[in-house]
Chains A and B, each alone.
Chain A
Amino acid sequence: MERNQMRRQLALIRQSFFDQGFLDEQFIQLEELQDDANPNFVEEVVTLYYRDSSRLILNIDQALERNPLDFNKLDNYMHQFKGSSTSIGAKKVKAECTQFREYCKAGNSEGRCMRTFQQLKKEYAILKRKLEAYFQQARQAGPLETACRSRN
């Protein structure tokens, strides 16, 4: 009984990610690639994302301390960041990346870049917290039927 309750709750939490714009369709694509042979695929991908992007954040933080800013370098980092955020469906983070890159292209809005990056880190941290809690709850609830299909 409790398990069903947990699963229902989990489904609601999951739906809220989409409703509130934290995640987009790409996340569902990831879920569809998960099956009995690869039961933790989504979590693995997300873990990889956080590992990858924490390194990028460090690099960007350092690059933002330079004077003057190397906009090319920053744009390069952000291109990577945007790419991986897109790959997991991190909608809000991706939007911040796009904004940041626009300011980079403008090349003269140091303040805006900084502020956008602070916002990006905030969104990034929020999503990380939410997803970590989600996967932990998913483990407790047992295998989900949601978007997972039995596949060879």
Chain B
Amino acid sequence: KTIMGMAAEAQYHVLAVDDSLLDRKLIERLLKTSSYHVTAVDSGSKALEFLGLLEDEHNDALAPSDVDVNLIITDYCMPGMTGYDLLRKIKESKSLKDIPVVIMSSENIPSRINRCLEEGAEEFFLKPVQLSDVNKLKPHLLKGREKESEPSINKRKGMEECHSHDKTRTKYDGLEVV
């Protein structure tokens, strides 16, 4: 579990999408305070561009390993492409659909919230977003990590010294018999 913990310490990359400069500054600070690496963009189309998915393209020319975003957090109300539209495009994309998406909105409209959750959003945050909200992101990020390549827990490091409770255990040529 400690090794998993160490792997998780490598920074998560969050893509934040909001047309308001003020709110971008806020969400960026909130995320950085929680030790996330942040990229902030001001529109859904810029987000898709960053993710390597062009608006008109339906086939994914991008390999999953090229996209290094662990979570997308987006405002709902944006001119042009709404957060909901962005969510849909991400979920429709083979290469991006496993990236957790969180929606933010200043308006508490249950039908809106339900629609987003049904479309696959992990969480729906009411603005103004607070630290307590950002703290809810961790499990979604960890879940995403697990879907990536296997962690190195199972790799054997034969020559390395392992601490043994039993100091009298017989060692053969420096290799500890497990």
Alpha-carbon separation in the docked complex, A30 to B30 (Å):
9
**Which bracket fits the contact residues of A?**
20 to 34
Stretch binding the partner chain, chosen from A6-14, A42-50, A63-71, A131-139: A42-50
A29, A32, A41, A79: which contacts B77 (Cβ < 8 A)? A79
Known: A29-B130, A32-B131. A82 touches B106 (CB 8 A): yes
Alpha-carbon separation in the docked complex, A99 to B38 (Å):
36
Stretch binding the partner chain, chosen from A83-91, A115-123, A140-148: A83-91
A33 within 8 A of B: yes
19 A–B pairs (Cβ distance < 8 Å), ordered by A: A29-B130, A30-B26, A32-B131, A33-B26, A33-B29, A38-B29, A45-B25, A45-B26, A48-B21, A49-B22, A52-B22, A80-B20, A83-B23, A83-B106, A86-B106, A86-B127, A86-B128, A87-B22, A87-B128
Q: For residue B75, which residue of chain A has the nearest CB? A: A83
Q: How many chain B residues have a CB neighbour from A under 8 Å?
A: 15
Contacts of B127 in A (CB 8 A): 83, 86-87
Q: For residue A84, which residue of chain B has the nearest CB? A: B22
Query: Can you list, as one digit per residue, whether each of B20-46 has a CB less than 8 Å from chain A (1) or not (0)?
Result: 111101100110010000000000000
Inter-chain contact count A-B, CB under 8 Å? 46
Q: For residue B77, which residue of chain A has the nearest CB? A: A79
Given pairs A33-B33, A84-B22, 20 additional interface contacts (CB within 8 A) = A33-B131, A38-B29, A44-B25, A45-B22, A45-B25, A45-B26, A48-B22, A49-B22, A52-B22, A82-B106, A83-B23, A83-B106, A83-B127, A84-B20, A84-B23, A86-B106, A86-B127, A87-B20, A87-B23, A87-B128
